[in-house]
Amino acid sequence: MRVSDAGVTRDAFPRVPAYAWSWLQRSRPVLQEVAARLTGARPDQHFSERLRQDFDADAFVRDVVIGAVCDVAFSGRIPDRRPSRASWDRGLVWWAAAIAGIPVAEFEARSTTAAAEQGALFEAPPAGAGQASSAIGVARHPRPRSPSAERAALARALRQLLEHATGDQVPAAAIRQLVADLEPPSS
């Protein structure tokens, strides 16, 4: 159960300070995504308080919150610094630093140093390769889904599966269909 390849585990995730909870509560898109992933509905009046209570005790809730913050606030990427000339709320800075697995002071120090020049995101295509490109000459590559987005899709599929339940019994045909939908296509 790792947050990133940097080695931050859910069990070692630091205690969330009040100002970071305040930021999360004010960040409606993130809070709505968390609620959708956990309950399939919009957050109600007491959702934030319940979330705060469950975060430390429940690894699944912690995983969903961290995934939603990463996906919505940081577009699925774990930042190691604030973008050049960007001003962030200190709660957002805390979430970024905690998800990246670095202290807030180090995160801030990295953010204030001159931005290093970014290298190429993709290797140049081999000479003579076919042109599968857009109008501006950049190859189109499908964006991989983040693990938390896949987890959210699985949670939605399981909720739909439970809609077909009679009491605690789920039809075997519905389970077979879910498994077929989740398996990667065979080559």
Provide the H-helix boundaries in the chain.
18-26, 28-39, 47-57, 59-68, 90-100, 104-112, 147-163, 172-182
Average pLDDT along the chain: 78
- 141 Cβ neighbours under 8 A, 6+ residues apart: 122
155-166 average pLDDT score: 78
The per-residue pLDDT for 175 is 80
Residue 169: per-residue pLDDT: 83
Q: In this predicted structure, what is the pLDDT of residue 158?
A: 79
pLDDT band, residue 141 (cuts 50/70/90) = very low
Distance (Å, whole) CA 147 – CA 64: 10
The pLDDT tens digits for 74-132 are 888 888 888 877 888 899 999 999 999 999 999 888 887 645 555 566 676 666 555 54
Does residue 17 surpass a pLDDT of 90?
yes
pLDDT higher than 70, residue 144: no
Going from N- to C-terminal start, the domains of the chain cover 10-112, 147-182
Burial of 85 (C-beta count, 10 Å sphere; 0-12/13-18/19+) = exposed
Q: Is 169 helix (H, G, I), strand (E, B) or coil?
A: strand
Alpha-carbon span 42 to 182, nearest angstrom: 26
Structure tokens at 146: 């983040």
User: Cα(126)–Cα(124) distance, rounded to whole angstroms?
Assistant: 6
Query: For residue 59, how many other CB atoms are within 10 A of its CB?
Result: 14
- What was the pLDDT predicted at 128? 59
The mean pLDDT value for 159-163 works out to: 78
Tell me the H-state helices in 2-75.
18-26, 28-39, 47-57, 59-68
